[in-house]
Amino acid sequence: MNYRHAFHAGNHTEVFKHAALTLILEHLLQKPMPFAVLDTHGGVGIYDVTSEEAVLTKEMDAGVGKVFGKTLVSAPMYLKAINALNNQSLRIYPGSPELIRHSLRDKDRLIVCELHPKDGARLKERYRKDRRVSVHQRDGYEATGAMLPPPERRGLVFIDPPFERQDEIEQIAIALQTGFRKWATGIYAVWYPIKDKIVGDRIAHSSLEAGFTNVLRAELCPYRRDGVVLAGSGLVICNPPWRIDEGLRRLCKELIVLLGGKGASWSVEPVSGS
């Protein structure tokens, strides 16, 4: 499975993933103590949905194009960040680094990794004047060992890979194992694309094998799973914030109306070892 962000910026999987991310950030913002976020696969930060890549696929039309200009009661922070980058028409879509940066208070921090030389350079240039953001051109999976735990001792590790590597799921499993060993109390959110059940099942199983005992799995599929098309996406959240399952259910109910087609489905369930 291959997922290149520039071609899919703002599609239905991005809407679910990023709206759900803002729910976790909202939880972290409820307490005055500072937090840190490690974003393992930063990309370029923001995307032009009028670019050649985005226009070629037109996936934005079935994603953020159906949400922009509307009210998203379940995830207001998500639309607020998008609106801050656009005027009347939609051109700029924020990736996870920009969404996270948009939420940061003065003492909060974002640590973002991007291995690709050109993308990493663009990311560094974009955030070079923001002292709350540090950009590292390095393997994001390896960073879970090198950069955890953060001094703040509270926060999130957001693992959002492009699924270009054949060993992607194995690398995710290693990162979760390392993360649990280094920072067992942190929140870990792993995103994955859905064509069938296999990828999500393996990541959920890996989270339990790593040692996490409180794990939540949320999936939104605007299209029927047939093993071929990109039906939707999911998140495995380790150490999920209190009552975020309720927020995710509200989000899924709202998005399924806006994005859903024939055979649409969603689920928010705890992951158990049975």
Q: What is the pLDDT of residues 75-97, one digit of tens each?
A: 999 999 999 999 889 999 999 99
The domain tally of the chain equals: 1
Q: Is residue 202 part of a domain?
A: yes
Report the catalytic residues: 160
Expressed as residue numbers, the domain containing 261 is 15-44+104-270
Angstrom distance (rounded) from CA 261 to CA 100: 30
DSSP 130-159: -TTEEEE-S-HHHHHHHS-S-TT--EEEEE
Position 3 confidence tier, pLDDT thresholds 50, 70, 90: very low
Q: Identify the CATH number of the domain in which residue 37 sits.
A: 3.40.50.150
Does the pLDDT of residue 111 top 60, yes or no?
A: yes
Angstrom distance (rounded) from CA 151 to CA 66: 40
Does the pLDDT of residue 52 top 80, yes or no?
A: no
Average model confidence (pLDDT) across the chain:
94
Q: pLDDT tens for residues 193-227?
A: 999 999 999 999 999 999 999 999 999 999 999 99
Q: Is residue 94 part of a domain?
A: no
CA distances from 191 to 121, 125, 132, 166 (A): 24, 26, 24, 16
Position 100 confidence tier, pLDDT thresholds 50, 70, 90: very high
Q: Is residue 116 part of a domain?
A: yes
Residue % of the chain over a pLDDT of 70: 96
Q: Is residue 176 part of a domain?
A: yes
Q: Is residue 87 part of a domain?
A: no
Does the pLDDT of residue 134 top 90, yes or no?
A: yes
Q: Is residue 252 part of a domain?
A: yes
Residues 98-117: what's their mean pLDDT?
96
Cα 198 versus chain centre, distance: 19
**What pLDDT, on the 0 to 100 scale, is given for residue 8?**
76
Q: Is residue 62 part of a domain?
A: no
Residue % of the chain over a pLDDT of 90: 86
Q: Is residue 233 part of a domain?
A: yes
Nearest 5°: the CA angle 221, 41, 63 is 30
